[in-house]
Amino acid sequence: MQTVLSAFLPDVPRAAAIWLSLLGVVVVAVAALLLRPGKFRLDPGSRIRRAAMPSQLEQAHEEREQSRYAQEVTVAAERATTTAQRRRTEWVAAQETVEAAWQAYEAAEAAVRRFGAAAAMPLPHTARTPSEYVDRERYLHRAALDAYWRRELSVEQLSDVFGHRDGWDPRLHPVEQELVLQRAIRDNLAARHTAAVEREQAAWRAAESAVVAARSLREEAHEATGRRVAESASALPLSEVVRPPVEQTREDAVVARGRAAVPAF
């Protein structure tokens, strides 16, 4: 028995020292957990978020790409707005041309009615001599040239006058010649008014398309800027992202002139 005790007793102090060391480690760990619990807390959610989030290099590259795209769309929207303004100016000028052509046509129509009433009355009798026919032809040519320089006759009509084609008879009385001339002027101005209306309609369609394109690019630029801000905010912690967003509104004041479909800028 003494032999067993003598063999066991020398190891007791060593075992006690080991147990005391282990107990000290446990006490230190418990004290650290009590004093700074957040440092040693296991947060799987934050670890997952950190693993899913892009690196700082990738995030910086994405932000540069978004910023570049937003700038390009903004520049395109500004150019489209300038184009829309120019198209609208052209459309307004086309409207004014249509109005001027209509007024000229109305004046020509009034002249036709006036000379038609004069031609319906008995015409003065003149001797039908070669010199009289020469004078009538000279009068017709001079009146047609004057109308051409006033841009009331086309070059084709003037060619028909000098070629005595398409109803142009230099032997007619000057009053009858004037009636034929005024009818030709009226027809030419009517055709010019029709062409002006077609150009005005084409200018209106072009202006309307330019306005739609400019509005679409402005909205895209606004959304691109908003996406860039939203992606920057998505890099924040979850506690910051889940805050209620601030609603943003944007009003576009539009003042239209003429057709309502083509707004002014």
Distance CA 248, CA 238 (A): 22
The helix (run of H) or strand (run of E) holding residue 256 is strand 255-256
pLDDT value of residue 94: 94
Tokens found for residue 147? 């109308």
pLDDT value of residue 30: 66
pLDDT band at 97 (very low <50, low <70, confident <90, very high): very high
Segment 20-73, tens digit of pLDDT: 777 776 776 666 666 665 554 555 555 556 555 556 776 777 777 787 887 888
Segment 120-163, tens digit of pLDDT: 777 667 667 788 888 888 999 999 999 999 998 999 988 988 88
pLDDT value of residue 185: 94
DSSP, res 255: E
* Sequence-ordered list of residues with C-beta below 8 angstroms from that of 147, at least 6 positions apart, any chain: 153, 181, 185
Distance CA 190, CA 106 (A): 9
pLDDT value of residue 103: 94
The predicted model gives 104-116 an average pLDDT of 90
Q: Which residues of 225-261 are buried (b: 16+ CB within 10 A; e: fewer)?
A: beebeeeeeeeeeeeeeeeeeeeeeeeeeeeeeeeee
Task: Output the CA angle 150-123-113, nearest 5 degrees.
Answer: 45
pLDDT value of residue 254: 32
* 76 has pLDDT over 50: yes
Segment 164-206, tens digit of pLDDT: 888 888 888 888 889 999 999 999 999 999 999 999 999 999 9
Counting Cα atoms < 13 Å in the Cβ hemisphere of 23 gives 6
* 245 has pLDDT over 60: no
Q: What does pTM read for this prediction?
A: 0.58
